[in-house]
Amino acid sequence: MTDLSRTGITLLPGWALDAASMQPLRQALSAALPGATIALANLPALRMAELEPGLTEWAEQLQPGLLVGWSLGGMLALQLQRRFPERFPAVVTLASNACFVQRKDWLPAMPAATWKQFYADFCDQPEKTLKRFALLVSQGSEDARALARALPWDQHNIEQRLHLLALLGVLDNRAFLKRATAPVLHCLGAADALVPADAVEALRTLDPAARICQHPAAGHALALDQPDWVAAHIVEFMESLDV
C-alpha cells in the first residue's frame, strides 16, 4: 500500500466552518509527521441535485492521499473515497456519523424533527442559529464559550450553507461502509452534542473492519479541542497502512 505520509494529508472542516478550524490538528500532525504534506481545504458549495459533478470537480482540486474530515467533511470524504479509491485510499472521520439524521433503522443520530427545526431556524434567523450551533459544537470543551466565539466561519452565503445543510440531512454512507474494503478510522467524542455516543457501537457493527476510537470526555470539536489525541490516532492508523 502507498505510504500516505508521503502522498499527502488533506483536512476538511465541518458544515459552515472555514478550513482554518482544522489548523490545530494540522499543527499537531505536522509535529508528529514532519515529512508529511498537510493541506487544508474548504468544503465547496455542493448541492444534492448536482452532487456527482460537484464531487468530481472537487476531487480534482484535492491532493491525493489521506482524507481527514470533520463532521460533514468526514461524510463527504467517504463519498470521495467511494468514487475515487485510487486517489483517496484511506479516510479518517472526526465526530462524523454514517447518517447525521435518524432513520428507522439508524437511531444513534440526530432526531429528524430536531434537524428539521434547525434547518427552519437557519432559514429564518441564520446568525442567531449559527451562534446556537457554535455552542453545540463546543459543548464538552473546557472553555466552551470561548471556543464557540473563536470558531471561524466559511465564506459561503446563506443559500450555499442551506444546500450543504440539506446535504448533511440526506447523506447516507451506511451501504458504502458496510461493504467497504478501504481503510477507515472513525474518531468520536463521548460528550458530542451532535453525534450520539452510541453511534460508536452502531458504526462498529456496520463495519467491523474499521478502526474506531472514542475520547471519553470530548465533544464535537475534536479537531480543535483534542488535536494531539486525534493526531496520535491518525499516526497509529497510518502506520498500520504502510508496508
Over the chain, what is the mean pLDDT?
A: 94
- Residue 157 has a CB neighbour count (10 Å cut-off) of 10
- Pull the grid cell for residue 215: 475520547
192 assigned to active site? yes
Of residues 86, 34, 91, 50, the one with CA closest to residue 209: 91
Residue 243: per-residue pLDDT: 37
The catalytic position among 5, 186, 192, 233 is 192
For 22-64, what is each residue's pLDDT tens digit?
999 999 999 999 889 999 999 999 999 899 999 999 999 999 9
Supply the CATH classification number for the domain 4-241: 3.40.50.1820
What residues contact 98, with CB distance under 8 A and at least 6 apart?
A: 106, 172, 173, 174, 177, 199, 202, 203, 206
Q: What mean pLDDT comes out for the span 10-16?
A: 98
The catalytic position among 138, 220, 225, 233 is 220
The catalytic position among 5, 21, 71, 138 is 71
Of residues 192, 237, 231, 191, the one with CA closest to residue 212: 237
For 176-218, what is each residue's pLDDT tens digit?
999 988 999 999 999 999 999 999 999 999 999 999 999 999 9
CB 193 within 8 A of CB 221: no
For 102-118, what is each residue's pLDDT tens digit?
999 999 999 999 999 99
CB 162 within 8 A of CB 123: yes
Query: Percent of the chain scored above 90 by pLDDT?
Result: 91
Q: What mean pLDDT comes out for the span 157-168?
A: 96
DSSP E strands in 75-218: the ranges are: 91-94, 184-189, 211-215
Total-model pTM: 0.95
3 assigned to active site? no
Give residue 149's Cα distance to chain centre: 20
For 54-75, what is each residue's pLDDT tens digit?
999 999 999 999 999 999 999 9
